[in-house]
């Protein structure tokens, strides 16, 4: 049954966006402005007004979840009339459908296989082995990332113009050529090929291109600011003579350039389509006016944007809190105290801590574990459960205790020491037979010459290092922090991460640096290892409410009642690497990220920074983020722990004589005391 009232619940701008049917249309949809509602209602209206049959509408999203939600919403409006929306889906799903119809045009059969990441890595490894490329120095994941970047730019191997200053690109291009030929030979393609092949088919075959241009009477695109070059080119090739393309997005939320997204697609839309109608959705249905005012003022400092002013019909709400702390530990205490104060008002599930970099969660995790505050890491792994952290702890555990077979197993061949599964199996069998731990068994087997020569060399070197580190710890009295630094260097673990070109390794190194900072808080190795054991043994999977932690990138599209934004310090946010690599463009993307973080909040935002950070075992002075200077004073409530340090905070006049509750007085501390006494 058709819902004839589907236009009545739209505001003026939304209604205009739905009913303006013909010609190119750019909908600038601010955060929380109901863009999904507009898109789905627009599809329903096109069908209801008989402008197109369902199968003549191409509607493209970035996620299966978004596509499914759109399908459900259209069906609620049109009922059975919505049947036949066969071209509503993600870029990849729609391109896969097109490619199966025209696979022969790119030398594939219609039953081609779409390979996953694991298959891609396996194929790259085989190619590297055949071409004598050292995967220890040039990781398959990094090779695939570069290949994917080229495909996002629309390049087959013969179309790539490499940067000859980049030694890696010179090595990777021949691998790309072999890789692409292998895919063809296997009648396969990867996800990048799905779009790239379709673009090439449409470019080279005007007859095929015209078929789809005539069929797709209307094209709609969600999250247009996140499109890359090849996705945008594919869309342009499908646009017919009437130019009935409608793109919806928010240039102020373009934060994925590192994934290939190009904001210029959005900014230059009206240059490609000269008769573009621009409609701004500026009515926000999520946040209070004070939150929107802070976010709008901040983002107005960006030069490359279409521009809009968000407004809400909601109350002004609470002022945005801006808190300064002496150090990172005090920041975690201050945040936990704030959560304790509001947890009776808001569900923990509706409270989130958004960080710029994932290593920042460590101090909050430590604090929450200590006071019994339940939490979850969304889109990531808890600090002490991250692989590189577990590796470091395993090294320390084995140095501390030779009978720790689990630690031995984890690190004996990490980094690679030519100690394979067959060797480990033999050691296990010897261990069981002689009732010895794995380390002692290894030493005995080396004495008896029971290990193959290559593995024997690697295993001997490893055992010698373990003995040397124990001597450093017990005889030289080297402290546990310095010991881990020595282990990371002498084991080759640091070199493995630094030398191996891998996009994930930067985060791994940051996490290890944060681990070194954490270790400084403990008097000795034993107390630190005990802490780790207790931290990882606490059941964090209990049912009920939990505080959320995630990166700002992962939070896009989500909303919470209360948002905490810690660590607003120069170098961390905006991130130094982003500015160094991309200059002004990088700075503007960091500011858009700040905007995304603030606009996730419905009721309260709490921004904080610290004057000192404990980093890699040393205290460093921090400087407040330049973004804090851009926050409008009249919408802020400023507090400081340390009135005596006002003069050190150059950017502010902290004039409120307010102190946070001390750690001892906080509800979390009281709960912790009760727990340890029971």
Please list the active-site residues: 35-36, 222-223, 253, 600
User: How would DSSP label each residue in 541-595?
Assistant: --SS--EEEEETTTTTT--EEEEEE---BTBBTTBHHHHHHHHHHHHHHHHHHHH
CA 362 and chain centroid, separation: 17
Strands (E), 480-559: 547-551
Within 8 A by CB and 6+ apart from 457, the residues are: 418
Alpha-carbon dihedral sign for residues 96, 100, 106, 107: positive
Tokens of 597: 């973080």
For residue 309, the 8-state DSSP code is: -
The DSSP symbol for 164 reads T
> For 605-635, b where at least 16 C-beta lie within 10 A, e where not — what string?
bbbbbbbbbbbebeeeebebbbbbeebeeeb
Longest dimension (CA), the chain: 86
Output the CA angle 609-615-617, nearest 5 degrees.
145
C-alpha distances (whole Å) from 116 to each of 121, 231, 237, 412 are 9, 20, 27, 30
Provide the H-helix boundaries in 343-449. 361-371, 387-400, 405-411, 421-434, 438-447
- Cα atoms in the 13 Å half-sphere on the side-chain side of 71: 18
- Residue 139 phi, psi (nearest 5): -70, 140
Q: Are 379 and 550 in contact (CB under 8 A)?
A: yes
**Is residue 209 within 8 Å of residue 184, measured between CB atoms?**
no
DSSP SS3 for 312: strand
DSSP 615-640: ETTEEEE--B-HHHHTS-GGGEEEEE
**C-alpha separations of 386 from 326, 331, 333, 361, 411 in Å:** 28, 23, 23, 12, 15
**Look-up of token digits 């008989």:** 50
Residue 60 tokens, joined? 């493209």
Q: Is the dihedral of CA 486, 487, 490, 496 positive or negative?
A: negative
Sole residue written with tokens 């190009």: 262
Q: Let me know: does 304 contact 588? Beta carbons within 8 Å.
A: yes
């Amino acid at each position: 049954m058709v819902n004839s009232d589907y236009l009545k619940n739209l505001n003026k701008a939304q209604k205009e966006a739905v009913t303006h049917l013909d010609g190119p249309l750019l909908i600038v949809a601010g955060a929380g402005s109901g863009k999904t509602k507009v898109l789905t209602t627009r599809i329903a209206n096109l069908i209801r007004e008989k402008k197109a049959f369902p199968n003549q509408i191409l509607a493209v999203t970035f996620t299966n979840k978004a596509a499914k939600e759109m399908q459900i919403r259209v069906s609620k409006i049109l009922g059975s009339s919505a049947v036949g929306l066969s071209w509503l889906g993600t870029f990849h799903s729609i391109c896969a459908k097109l490619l199966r119809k025209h696979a022969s045009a790119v030398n594939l059969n219609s039953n081609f296989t779409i390979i996953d990441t694991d298959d891609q890595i396996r194929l790259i490894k085989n190619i590297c082995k055949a071409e004598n490329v050292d995967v220890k120095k040039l990781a398959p994941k990094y090779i695939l990332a570069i290949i994917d970047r080229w495909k996002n730019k629309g390049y087959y191997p013969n179309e790539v113009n490499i940067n000859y200053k980049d030694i890696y690109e010179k090595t990777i291009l021949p691998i790309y050529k072999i890789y692409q030929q292998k895919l063809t030979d296997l009648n396969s393609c990867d996800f990048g090929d799905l779009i790239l092949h379709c673009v090439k088919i449409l470019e080279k075959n005007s007859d095929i291109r015209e078929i789809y241009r005539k069929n797709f009477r209307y094209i709609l695109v969600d999250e247009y600011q996140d499109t890359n070059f090849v996705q945008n080119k594919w869309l342009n090739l499908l646009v017919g003579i009437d130019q009935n393309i409608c793109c919806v997005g928010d240039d102020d939320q373009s934060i994925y350039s590192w994934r290939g997204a190009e904001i210029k697609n959005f900014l230059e839309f009206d240059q490609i389509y000269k008769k573009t109608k621009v409609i701004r959705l500026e009515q926000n249905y999520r946040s209070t006016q004070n939150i929107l005012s802070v976010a709008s003022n901040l983002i107005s400092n960006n030069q490359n944007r279409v521009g809009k002013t968000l407004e809400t019909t909601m109350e002004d709400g609470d002022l945005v809190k801006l808190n300064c702390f002496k150090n990172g530990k005090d920041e975690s205490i201050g945040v936990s105290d704030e959560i304790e104060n509001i947890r009776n008002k808001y569900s923990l599930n509706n409270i989130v801590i958004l960080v710029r970099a994932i290593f920042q969660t460590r101090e909050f995790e430590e604090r929450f574990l200590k006071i019994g505050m339940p939490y979850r890491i969304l889109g990531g792994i808890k600090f002490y459960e991250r692989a590189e952290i577990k590796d470091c702890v395993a090294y320390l555990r084995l140095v501390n205790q030779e009978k720790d077979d689990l630690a031995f197993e984890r690190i004996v061949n990490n980094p690679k020491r030519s100690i394979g599964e067959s060797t480990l199996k033999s050691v296990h069998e010897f261990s069981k037979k002689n009732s010895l731990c794995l380390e002692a068994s290894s030493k005995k087997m080396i004495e008896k010459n029971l290990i193959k020569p290559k593995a024997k060399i690697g295993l001997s070197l490893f055992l010698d290092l373990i003995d040397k580190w124990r001597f450093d710890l017990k005889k030289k009295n080297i402290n546990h922090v310095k010991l881990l630094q020595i282990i990371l260097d002498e084991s080759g673990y640091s070199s493995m991460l630094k030398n191996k070109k891998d996009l994930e390794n930067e985060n791994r190194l940051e996490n290890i640096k944060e681990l070194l900072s954490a270790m400084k808080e403990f008097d000795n190795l034993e107390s630190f290892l005990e802490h780790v054991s207790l931290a990882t043994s606490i059941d964090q999977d209990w049912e009920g409410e939990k505080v959320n932690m995630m990166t700002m990138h992962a939070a896009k599209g989500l909303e919470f009642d209360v948002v905490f934004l810690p660590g607003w310090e120069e170098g961390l946010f905006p991130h130094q690497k982003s500015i160094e690599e991309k200059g002004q463009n990088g700075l503007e993307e960091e500011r858009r990220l700040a905007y995304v973080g603030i606009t996730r909040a419905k009721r309260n935002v709490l921004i904080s920074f610290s004057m000192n950070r404990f980093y890699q075992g040393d205290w460093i002075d921090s400087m407040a983020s330049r973004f804090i200077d851009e926050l409008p004073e009249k919408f802020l409530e400023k507090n400081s722990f340390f009135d005596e340090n006002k003069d050190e905070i150059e950017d502010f006049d902290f004039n409120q004589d307010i102190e946070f509750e001390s750690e001892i007085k906080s509800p979390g501390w009281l709960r912790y005391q009760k727990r340890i006494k029971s």
